[in-house]
Amino acid sequence: MHHLLARLLKKSGFSGIESAQYEHFIRLLSDAFVHADEDRWMLEHSLNLTSKELTENNSQLRTKLADIDKYQRSLELSVTRQKAILDASPEVVVEFNICGEITHVNQSGCTFLGCDEHTALTLDATQVLHSILSLLTAPDVFIEQIQAMFDSKEAKLTGNFETIHGRYYEYYSVPELIHGEYVGRVWCCRDITDLKAQKALLSKQANCDSLTGLANRFNIIATVNRMLQSDVVKPFALVLIDLDDFKKINDSLGHLAGDDALKICAKRLERRVQQPNRLARLGGDEFLVVLMLDSLPAIREQLEHILNAFIDPIKIEGNCYQLSLSVGVASYPAHGKEVSEILGKADIAMYQAKKQGKNQYKLFDSALEQRVQKAIYIEEKLQQAITLKQFELYFQPKINIGSGQVESLEALIRWPNNGRMIFPDEFIPIAEDKGLIGKITECVLEMACDTLSQWHGLAHLKDLSIAINISGKDISVDNFYEKLERLLSRYKFNPSLLELELTESALISNLSNVKATLKQLKKLGIKVAIDDFGTGYSSLAYLQALDIYYLKIDRQFVAALLSEPKAEAIVQSIIDVGKNLGLCLIAEGVEQAEHLDKLQRMGCDQAQGYFICRPLPSSELLKFLSAAKQAV
């Protein structure tokens, strides 16, 4: 029996619990109580489960709501930041929805549209377009540029426009798509006025000479290259211009005055070079003209026109300077197909114009190129010859005219190369031009000192002096005397047996420095001769001021001695002046016996020339000296 049923029956005082009569009924009631307990337990259990699930679901819901709230705050913050960033951007940003309404505009966009944000958000695409078109200098061009947008909503646009206020803008526009569906469009544009101006400035700096405003080397070379790459290349000439003696302005007035002079020169050239011809400054005092001419007479006429621009002197800081031009010309297609080749040949021609006296133009020809190539070859080989000391000395005797005895020798440099002997007139000008003359002089000095040292112990040679030629650049070097003194200390011979011959131009080029050096040389006993006297300045003042021992009468006067009375008068005057100053007179270029007789009667002391003896190598010289001694 169910315990609850038993308690209820007992509490009610029912006495038939044990009776068989009620047994079946009571059992059914007990079963009902059991089923009721089971139902109640099931219901309670169900209620407990439902409450727990609700609690858990409620907890999850609260968590989700918190996450949504957090995400919403994050989204709001992100939108706020994005708006702040866009508002801070100098670029114009405008967003339109599918209906053509503005859904977002930043501060730059408001400024560009000329209204506040609230007003801008009330505008539609048509109103904005009309507003923009009213600001443009070329609205029709802008409409053409954005036509693709009307043809396809998904079109991407980019381009530029200029406003009536002189500002330049770059724009780009992209569609907004969600899962491939068009939902709007974003327009961005930025003010590129300053950038455009900066690019223009950089372009000018890259293509224009900062001093004169002319096209620079890069610009003109690029221009010529474009001409050469075009489908139809018209003939033209490159005219390379170099200002003669411009250095004297820089040296005397300074580089700022030199810059002013360059500006004046550029203006003069600019007035003479008209379109379609082009003018550029290559750098320094060099200019380039591209002449769009193919007729040689027309080119010559234009070149004369350019040269005449400098007939009048230029005035700088109150001083007048006469400048001239050395001009070289090469043309396309005659002288090359590449700009570097044509310009190189114009440079060769210009150098020749400068070498032949300046203030002129030279047209390139193959003979010029051959001379330049030869000079380049000689320079290269000359460098090797200096390093390897491949030079030889030849000696030409100088005799006492009265006694016929050999008193001195002139050392003349020779350069054996590839089986032939190269004479000084072929390589010395190149050496001087390329700055190699000093090293060659050192070689000659060393060879002369070595020869004198070898002869020192030989009785028949120990009193012979050797004269060598010294250039103006050599004697003007500050440490020339110190270098010579160190050289002499290495060899054993009397320094008075070493003689130096200098031209008049070498003396005058740096008179004060030369004067000091000659005094030092005199202390060593070294005698100095003025070579080719009468062909240069022939100033009596420097004959008096400088420590000179010999005067050498130039060969052109000696050659004309028998046929031209004026030449005889000049030679006699030189001899008389030299004698009065206590100098020894030497005549060079004596080719005939009559020359020697005439010079002896005129009172000349020494002579040299082919009539006496040609220049000889050391081995042959010794034979000549031996024979000459026996003859005397």
Last residue within a domain, chosen from 80, 103, 122: 80
Count CA within 13 A, CB hemisphere, residue 117. Answer: 12
- Record the tokens describing residue 153, joined without a space: 């909503």
Q: Which of 29-38, 309-318, 413-422 has the lowest mean pLDDT?
A: 29-38
Q: What is the residue-wise DSSP string for 302-341?
A: HHHHHHGGGSSPEEETTEEE--EEEEEEEEETTT-SSHHH
Q: Largest alpha-carbon pair distance within the chain?
A: 197
- Record the tokens describing residue 563, joined without a space: 């046929």
Cα–Cα distance measured from residue 307 to residue 329, given in angstroms and rounded to the nearest whole number? 13
Residues 402 and 459 in one domain: yes
Last residue within a domain, chosen from 364, 399, 422: 364
Instruction: Kindly state whether residue 373 falls inside one of the protein's structural domains.
Output: no
Higher pLDDT pick, 435 / 472: 435
- Record the tokens describing residue 578, joined without a space: 């030299």
500 confidence band (pLDDT: 50, 70, 90): very high
Instruction: Kindly state whether residue 203 falls inside one of the protein's structural domains.
Output: no
- Give the DSSP H/E element, type plus range, for residue 264: helix 255-272
CB 110 within 8 A of CB 117: yes
In the chain, the N- to C-terminal Cα span, in Å, equals 180
Question: What radius of gyration, in Å, describes the C-alpha atoms of the chain?
Answer: 53
Residues 280 and 403 in one domain: no
CB 534 within 8 A of CB 570: yes
Residues 315 and 265 in one domain: yes
Residues 338 and 420 in one domain: no
Give per-residue pLDDT as tens, 57-71: 788 888 888 888 888
Last residue within a domain, chosen from 161, 195, 229: 195
Instruction: Kindly state whether residue 205 falls inside one of the protein's structural domains.
Output: no
CB 169 within 8 A of CB 191: yes
Residues 41 and 115 in one domain: no
- Record the tokens describing residue 276, joined without a space: 């379609």
- Residue 218: predicted pLDDT: 92
- Phi–psi pair at 427, nearest 5 degrees: -120, -20
Instruction: Identify which of 531, 419, 401 has the alpha carbon closest to the alpha carbon of residue 470.
Output: 531
Mean pLDDT of 21-44: 79
Residues 311 and 227 in one domain: yes
Residues 102 and 66 in one domain: no
Higher pLDDT pick, 9 / 247: 247
Instruction: Kindly state whether residue 337 falls inside one of the protein's structural domains.
Output: yes
Query: Above 90 in pLDDT, residue 614?
Result: yes
Residues 554 and 607 in one domain: yes
Higher pLDDT pick, 40 / 491: 491
CB neighbours of 133 closer than 8 A, spacing ≥ 6? 139, 142, 143
- Residue 39: predicted pLDDT: 83
- Record the tokens describing residue 127, joined without a space: 């109103």
Over pLDDT 90: what percentage of the chain? 49
Secondary structure class of 538 (helix, strand, coil): coil
Give per-residue pLDDT as tens, 152-165: 988 999 999 999 98
- Give the DSSP H/E element, type plus range, for residue 399: strand 392-400
221 confidence band (pLDDT: 50, 70, 90): very high
Cα–Cα distance measured from residue 15 to residue 193, given in angstroms and rounded to the nearest whole number? 116
CB 262 within 8 A of CB 191: no
Q: Which of 11-25, 109-123, 385-399, 498-512 has the highest mean pLDDT?
A: 385-399
Give the single-character DSSP code of 32.
H
Q: In terms of residue numbers, what domain contains 29?
A: 3-80
The pairing of beta strand 498-503 with beta strand 465-470: parallel
CB neighbours of 278 closer than 8 A, spacing ≥ 6? 215, 220, 223, 289, 290
Residues 298 and 435 in one domain: no
Cα–Cα distance measured from residue 588 to residue 161, given in angstroms and rounded to the nearest whole number? 84
Residues 234 and 188 in one domain: no
Secondary-structure percent of the chain, ordered helix, strand, coil, rounded to 5: 55, 20, 25
Give per-residue pLDDT as tens, 258-311: 999 999 999 999 999 988 899 999 999 999 999 998 788 999 999 999 999 999
628 confidence band (pLDDT: 50, 70, 90): confident
CATH of residue 334: 3.30.70.270
Instruction: Kindly state whether residue 204 falls inside one of the protein's structural domains.
Output: no
131 confidence band (pLDDT: 50, 70, 90): confident
Give per-residue pLDDT as tens, 530-561: 888 877 665 677 787 788 899 999 999 999 99
Instruction: Identify which of 310, 326, 321 has the alpha carbon closest to the alpha carbon of residue 257.
Output: 321
CB neighbours of 106 closer than 8 A, spacing ≥ 6? 83, 86, 87, 89, 91, 92, 93, 94
Query: Above 80 in pLDDT, residue 577?
Result: yes
Higher pLDDT pick, 343 / 370: 343
Give per-residue pLDDT as tens, 182-219: 999 999 999 999 888 888 888 777 889 989 999 999 99
CA angle 585/628/587 to nearest 5° reads 20
Mean residue pLDDT of the chain comes to 88
Distances from the Cα of 258 to the Cα of 215, 284, 322, angstroms: 19, 10, 14
Task: Give the burial class of 329: count Cβ atoms within 10 A of its Cβ; 0-12 exposed, 13-18 middle, 19 or more buried.
Answer: buried
| Residues comprising the chain, all counted | 632
- Record the tokens describing residue 36, joined without a space: 């009721």
Instruction: Kindly state whether residue 211 falls inside one of the protein's structural domains.
Output: no
Total structural domains within the chain:
4
CATH of residue 478: 3.20.20.450
- Residue 19: predicted pLDDT: 64
Task: Give the burial class of 542: count Cβ atoms within 10 A of its Cβ; 0-12 exposed, 13-18 middle, 19 or more buried.
Answer: middle
Instruction: Identify which of 132, 171, 133, 126 has the alpha carbon closest to the alpha carbon of residue 150.
Output: 126
- Residue 17: predicted pLDDT: 60
CB 266 within 8 A of CB 214: yes
CATH of residue 101: 3.30.450.20
Instruction: Kindly state whether residue 374 falls inside one of the protein's structural domains.
Output: no
Instruction: Kindly state whether residue 72 falls inside one of the protein's structural domains.
Output: yes
Query: Above 80 in pLDDT, residue 21?
Result: no
Residues 533 and 389 in one domain: yes
Residues 24 and 100 in one domain: no
Cα–Cα distance measured from residue 328 to residue 352, given in angstroms and rounded to the nearest whole number? 8
